[in-house]
Chain A
Amino acid sequence: MDRRKFFRLLGAGGLFGLLKAKAQTLPWDEDTFAPMKTLGAPLSEYGQRSPFEEGVVRYISPNLRTRHSGADFAPLEKLEGVITPNGLHFERHHGGVPQVDPAKYRLVIHGMVERPLVFTLEDLKRFPSVTRTYFIECAGNGQNGYRNPPDPQLTATRSRGLASNASWTGVPLALLLKEAGVKPEAKWLIPEGMDAAAYTRSLPLEKAMEDVLVAYAQNGEALRPEQGYPVRLVVPGWEGSIQVKWLRRILVTDLPAMAKDETSEYTDVMADGKVWAFTWIMDPESIITYPSGLQQIKPGFHEIRGLAWSGYGRITKVEISFDEGKTWRQATLEPPVERYAFVRFKMPWHWDGKEVVLWSRAWDEKGNTQPTREEFFKKWGRNNRYHYNAIQAWRILPDGRVVNGDRPLGQQAFGPMGGCGGEVFDG
């Protein structure tokens, strides 16, 4: 219909009549105007997302044997920007999420200190505060990469969603330690959670003095219970499992505890059969979130989007390959590009409708980058559970479906290994 005819019709029968008569040919329908016809919802004390967004949820694997020790994944391909909304930050815990009354909350610092101290939440908030954006990534992130042959149903969420990024506010742990007066022979801190697992790890004092936060806020509001309400450690760039949640005490001492979760779990079986301990620093990672596994695209313009981060500091560049690593093109990084934080990368792209495989790899300020699958398994064992950071490939099929583009490595079937119990219970 031409424009003049359209306006004549409009004059004659009104828009309503037109909609009725020619509903299929219009690029909208009556419901498009519905919100303008009645008053909307009144003021509310705590804003909720639109009911239409209720499908955007964390992924919980049906294979877990208990949801009290396990992990769920942030839905990376359904999020924009770099901040993970609080309700979608990935979870991992070993004895359920405790409910802690902030009025009853206490933190004790003791051991090799001049003055053992007990802090209330109010005490902690009175210290000078720091707000920084940091990623937290489970050591078991990428665990689906251990599957061979690769999982055809893989999504960006299940590939790298055991990582999230938030603005954390808290007091530098160094200030609390100075307050207690650390004795010269001390080298280690043993933080402990007030969950049913009384979760503990060992943290070198040096890192604590550098940049560890005792955090009480996440993206401007109090921590979510799953993230350690009311107080957790944030250890920039290091594996999530050392960032003890529901923090109740810190023992200052001269030996690491060699706790269950730094020996039986969170140790890495390497390709030569050795087991590595204290694999704290998270290697560089990137994941294309659009287009990514199980999405569907049409020929024409697309903006390739993804996330990159590294435990070694700042991301310096992200490259995308359209020919499985033969040539690379540099993506744009969206500022700010911060240390130990997610950065959003983008590249304009025209899809011509032909089958193509997309790769991305991140580079950090120390010159580290991501290995290919093949390179990864030269160093790390096939039966390892953690620290998989090989390049994730996405294959666009001619019909526009996007599937896992990783290639099998040999005939032997492996995995899933279930590091951190994300996909299968591994304790």
Chain B
Amino acid sequence: MVKRVLVLLALLGLAVGARYNLGTPISEELVAQYDLRPAVLPDGRGLPPGEGKVEEGERIYAEKCASCHGARGEGYPFNRLVAEPFPITKDTEPAEFAIGNYWQYATTLYDYIRRAMPFGAAGTLTNEEVYHLVAFLLYMNGIIDAHEPINQKTLPQVKMPARELLELDPETKRRFPWLTLP
């Protein structure tokens, strides 16, 4: 056993030592420039400063989103965004899945809208506009009320009803025992 551990350590040492000196080191400033649409983590890391307001979001939504997701987020021609604030059941059809009944993390909304919407013009929204849209969509789904401020601090605290349905695939848990869902 001790011998095996020693061999393993030696191998690890070799592996750590063996570098190819390929690729160019870059500063954190350059990384930040390259990171056009930073990933937002469930604990709020990656969220920029700023604050969302429901009325502002309503205006931006009508202008930039309604044509694809419906005037009230009912979803035509593309995904439904608005649902009752209750999680789905096993009988809910996937076409009915939306933010209020299926999304498990509020931070995902910020990450995704900044990353990929509006479809075909991704990257054109300001950080502030994204906050407004997130506030509006959470409000429309009955998750927050009209005057709740949405920002770096509050967004990770917003509880999504569908989170209670979410479980880790047992096979994934078996392979990665350390893994838990945020």
Contact = CB atoms under 8 A, between A and B. Distances in A.
Contact of A258 (B42, B120, B122, B179): B42
Interface string B18-50: 111111111110110011110111110100000
A190 B34 CA distance: 15
Interface string B94-117: 110100001111011001100110
A280 B172 contact: yes
Interface in B149-179: 162, 165-169, 171-172, 175-176, 178-179
B1 interface: no
B112 A279 contact: no
Contacts of B123: 198
Contacts of B24: 117-119, 123
Given A116-B30, A179-B20, A273-B165, 20 more contacts: A66-B78, A95-B119, A106-B34, A110-B26, A110-B31, A127-B22, A196-B119, A198-B116, A200-B111, A204-B176, A258-B42, A263-B108, A271-B90, A278-B168, A278-B169, A278-B179, A281-B172, A383-B90, A383-B93, A426-B79
B91 A95 contact: no
B97 A264 contact: yes
Given A206-B176, A276-B168, A383-B90, A259 B26 contact: no
Interface in B81-97: 88-95, 97
A179 B178 CA distance: 25
B77 interface: yes
Given A116-B28, A277-B167, A178 B15 contact: yes
A263 B97 CA distance: 11
Residue of B23, B43, B45 contacting most chain A CB atoms (<10 Å): B23
A160 B137 CA distance: 36
B16 A255 contact: no
Contacts of B172: 278-281
B105 A108 contact: no
Contacts of A280: 169, 172
Given A179-B22, A258-B105, A95 B116 contact: yes
Interface string A380-392: 0111010000000
A273 B89 contact: yes
A275 B30 CA distance: 39
Contacts of B15: 178
A271 B91 CA distance: 9
B121 to A, nearest CB: 9
Given A118-B26, A178-B19, A275-B166, A198 B31 contact: no
A269 interface: yes
A377 B125 CA distance: 43
A277 B181 contact: yes
B22 A198 contact: no
B13 interface: no
A201 to B, nearest CB: 10
A175 B20 CA distance: 9
A110 B46 CA distance: 14
B115 A200 contact: yes
Interface of A: 65-66, 68-69, 94-95, 106, 108-110, 115-119, 123, 126-127, 175-176, 178-180, 187, 190, 192, 196-200, 204, 206, 249, 251, 253, 255-260, 263-264, 267-281, 381-383, 385, 417-419, 425-427
Contacts of A206: 176
Given A95-B116, A108-B34, A179-B22, A255 B79 contact: no
Q: How large is the interface on B (under 10, 10 to 19, 20 to 34, 35 or more residues)?
A: 35 or more
A264 B103 contact: yes
A276 B169 contact: yes
B39 A251 contact: yes
26 contacts: A65-B77, A68-B120, A108-B26, A118-B24, A119-B22, A119-B23, A196-B119, A196-B120, A200-B111, A200-B115, A249-B35, A253-B39, A255-B42, A255-B43, A255-B182, A256-B181, A258-B42, A258-B105, A259-B39, A260-B111, A269-B88, A277-B167, A277-B181, A278-B169, A279-B169, A383-B90
Given A196-B120, A255-B182, A276-B169, A426 B95 contact: yes
A118 B179 contact: no
B9 to A, nearest CB: 15
Contacts of B165: 273-275
Contacts of A419: 94
A116 B25 CA distance: 6
A258 B104 contact: yes
B110 to A, nearest CB: 11
Contacts of B111: 200, 257, 259-260
A109 B123 CA distance: 21
A95 B16 contact: no
A133 B136 CA distance: 47
Contacts of B166: 263, 267, 274-277
